[in-house]
Structures are given as structure tokens and as C-alpha cells.
Structure 1
Amino acid sequence: MDTGPQDGGGTIAVAPMMDWTDRHCRVLHRRLNPSLVLFTEMVTAKAVLFGDRDRLLGHSEEERPLVLQLGGSDPGELAEAAQIAAEWGYDEVNLNCGCPSDRVQGGRFGACLMREPALVGECLAAMAEGGLPVSLKCRLGVDEQDVEPALDAVADAAVAAGASAIWVHARKAWLQGLSPAQNRTVPPLDHDRVVRLCARLPSTFVGLNGGIGDEGAVRAALATMDGVMIGRAAYQRPGLLAELGGRHGLASGAHRLAVARSMVDYARAVLEDRGRLAPVVKPMLGLFHGEPGARAYRRTLSEDGHRAGAGADVLSGALDALEIARERSGPDLEARSVAA
């Protein structure tokens, strides 16, 4: 997959996030910013081989370019899963070497692989046999590792295996003593360590993840990195993705509202396919963060969207009320939008 510059300033991706970056979230993000690189939630290789593939791998053409993130440490299983990914129309497969949960520790994958660079290389080389580009997402290291040699060893193994990109969450993972949630915030960020890796590997794409929450931080990071990966900010304030696509001020508000309106028809299609409204509106909750009517909009989606039999009219009604609130705010909203 091409990870070259987008919007004139480098690659911008949305991180793979468990319980967040499902197919509905990815459709919203793609409509907000067509140039993003999107990732699935992590799917274990065993699940791909033996699970419900439509549920785990299903996606629309609209979501592409789309990367399937795989979890595992068995090269044979990963090779087969990567082949299946190619058959399902993915553009790239990514190996997870960053997740610190108890589940991955028990299965010897995720962040545990930071201790086994040779195995990382074997896994990536096996995944490449499926015909898709392969990439790596990793941490700086785990536990008491020295992040200088630890990251270099894993990165070098990835390069030797033919990885097209290395995405680094710029924190250590502490496998003992911290929960997965704490591992996203407690270990200190070290962006400079990733910058040094990028400078050391000028022929390999290196992207930065971790603690990047606004447009200024993204643009600053892209001055020294090949790409930036946005995590929690993408679901807390998805409007950021529109801003990164060049939508600002009044244009951003109009674009976000148009995208939200387009999701009404999307919701109807999901419901007709026996889906539920709640997963569709979940990634939309923060779309109008801080704007007039946003609190009532969010409350309506959170409460009414989860009720049995909730229809697309819940979303359209919430947007109608939001538009009324925006109109009532008049010049004040316009001034805030222009300032933003």
C-alpha cells in the first residue's frame, strides 16, 4: 500500500483501537477525511483462521485503503491469515507488537514480541508470502528494556523481513503492574526516540503514534516523521480528522454536518441488514464537541440510540435539534468557527 505523502504533508493514519475502529467507525472516518490510512481493530490470526470471517474481516470498498492488523506469533498461522486478508480485499497487513493485555501475554504475542526480534522478522516474512505489503506496529520496548537497542533490534528485523512501514507507539509497555488502559497514558512519551529511528532508517517509512491530539501536534510531528498515527483523539474529537483534511472554521462545521447527515442513510442500510443503531452512532458522539447543542445531541444518541428497536430517525432527530441550536447561536458560532 502506498504510504506516501497525503494532503502535501505526510501520511496520516488512525490507529487500530479495540472496541473502536470497527467498520462503522471506519466509514465515518473515511467520510470525514478521504486521504486517511485506516486500520482495523487487532484480529488474532487464529480468529481469522477459525472464526466468523464476515464479522471479523467484513468491510466496504469505501473504507480503503485499509490495513488489517493481526495478532499472533506463529509464522504459519500469520502467513495463512495474511493470504485470507488478500482474498478479502485488504491493502496491507500489520503485525501487532504493542498490545500489553493479559490475553496477548498468555499467547506470546503483542508487546511480548518486543523481546523476540528474530521471531518478529520470521512473522513478518511469513505474512509477506500472502502477497500484500506488511508493516509493524510496536512500542519502544517493554518493562526494563533499554529502548535504544530494543527498538533498533525489532526495527532492523522488520526491515530485513521486507516491512513497508514501522509505526511506533512512543511509550514503553509495562507488562507487569499496569493495566492496558494505564499503558496508554502512564509510561512517559519519548517522541525523540522515534525521531532518531526515523533518521537512522531513511529508506524505511517510520510513523509516530502516541499523545498526538491536535492539528498543530500532527503538523509538527510530520516535520520530522514520515507519518503520524492518531489514537484516542480520533474518537474523542473526530472533527480533528476533518481539520487534517483541510476543513477549517465554517467549512469544517458544514462538512461534519454533511457527513453526519450521510450517516443517516448508512444507518438505515445497517438496520435493514439486521444491524443495530448503537454501534453506528458510537463513533459519532464527539463529532460536534464543544459546539452549541452538542451535549443534547450526544445524550440523545447515547440514551435513545441504545434502546431496543432504535431507528435511524434517532440520529436524524438529534441532528435536527443540533442544527436548530447552531442557528440560534448565530454570529457567536460563526465567530468561534472562524477563530478555530
Structure 2
Amino acid sequence: MRDNDRPTPTARSTAADGTPQPGDVRPIGVFDSGVGGLTVARALMDLLPDERLTYVGDTAWGPYGPRPLDAVRERARSIVDWLASQDAKLVVAACNTATAAAFSQDPIATTVPVEGVVTPAVRTAVRATRTGEIGVIGTVGTIRSRAYEQAVAAASPEVRVHARACPDFVDFAERGRTTDPGVRAAATEALAPLRDAGVDTLILGCTHYPLLTGVIGHVMGPDVLLVSSAEETARRVFGRLVDEGLDARAPQHVPHRFVVSGDGAVFRGLASRFLGPRLADVGDAAAVMTTGLQLPEPVGGTA
């Protein structure tokens, strides 16, 4: 199922005389269990203003964190297949739980390249750490998968990882609670084991968490570097598109698309917290938004 009004994709190339040819104008697919992946979308919009996104917010089936990883894996497969049917040239799994379940140690087979959010953050953290003690915070599903420990071990076996599930942080981010005393107290308690472990680098292993960098940074202290999986993934996508000749290379006068499996009004309301200055990109003039995306229910889909 393809949009008839989509531009014809043309891979970047160079003519015999060295003249650059038009780039690849197909959209970048991005998906998440809901709104957290909008932090990745926002970073992509900032770094790649010529590109257009097709964003899937799986709000009818999310959050993924508490669900069985096998079920998340099958749901991710369905979403990637759908994005491929929409001519996505590359898909970003803008969800740590989905990345851990479907694109880390045993990646699913896909017909379109997929970039997850685990490896880019790990590469940056391993390069940055001075003491070899790295912390990771994420949802229960992400931490349970041990995807970050496995990725760090592959990148630098001598680095130690201290992982901590912080599920309350998702609720804080979606409710816009980022500075009040209750959030500060909860963050202090949740992050205490990582402070005690002496980590000098902390990976924000959930795409909701960049909204809480103020309180997380305050609790951890100025000597701890925070690594955002959202921002590092956007940088990785930038490099990959350029290196592989998949970048658009010129402004496109077509809107971003936001496709939601659940309630569009709820999604639009929460988007204001995650897109910030980019909120106009889900406005009528800058985006097309549709709701009710139908995807197969995975076997064992309940928690």
C-alpha cells in the first residue's frame, strides 16, 4: 500500500562530469510505542531539515516497556513492514524497548534498513567515559533485555555497566513534571545506586528521558556526562544517509506525516511537550496526521 502522491525516489549519484544529481526524497520512517520517539524525530528535524518523516506512534498498543519482549519484537516487525510499504528509505526504531527486542542481538529480517537507539548511545558513552563506569537508565523492558550491557561488552569489554530501571520517569515526562520537589525526590532515590557506583557517564536509555535532563543532571552532578540515545541516534542517521547517498540534499515542499494507532487528540496534546519549538510540525500547515492505524495483534501481546 503506497501513496500515489509520493515523489519518485532517486538515489544520490554523481554525473560523469562530477555534477551532483538529485538526492533520495523518500521519507525516513520513525516509530515508537507512543510519544517518546518524538525526541528522536525532533533531533532528526534539527539535523536534517531537508528530510521528511513518517512517524508512527503506536499509542493503541503502547507502552512497550511492560510487555513481553517476543510480543514487542513481532509488533516492531509489523510496523517496519508498514513503513516499508510507505516507501521509507530507512527506519528508525525510536524506542529502546523495541530496539532491544528486535534490532540488537538477534535482529529481525527487514526489507528496509533499520537504525536502533542502543548502539549509537553506547559508542558515545564508551568513548566518553574516563573511569570505565557507565550507568544506564531505562524502562523495565529495556533493562530486563540487557541490550546495553551486551552492546557495551561488544564495544569495550573492560567497561562496566550499572543499569537501573526508572519506569516512573516516563510518567513524569508525559505529565510535564520536570522540576517539582516530588520529581526531584523520586529521581534522587532512583539514581542513588548509580551515584554510589561512581559512574561518570549516564546513558538516557529511554526516549522520554531527555525531557528530564535538568533534574537527572542535577541529581547526578556536573561531573557526570549525560548521553541521550535520541540525539546520538539522530547523528548516526545523518552520517548514514550521507555516507550511503540516501540524503535528500534539497528542501522538500511536502509535509511530515504522523500516523497514530490510538487517540490522535491525546497524541497531539502530548506532542507539545516533546517537540517544543517543533510543535508546528504537527500543525495543519506542516504535517499530515492520521489515526487508527491497524496492525496485527502479536501472539502473547498482553503483559
More helix by share: 1
Structure label with greater radius of gyration: 1
Q: TM-score, normalised by structure 1?
A: 0.33
Q: TM-score, normalised by structure 2?
A: 0.35
Higher relative contact order (CA 8 A, sep 6+): 2
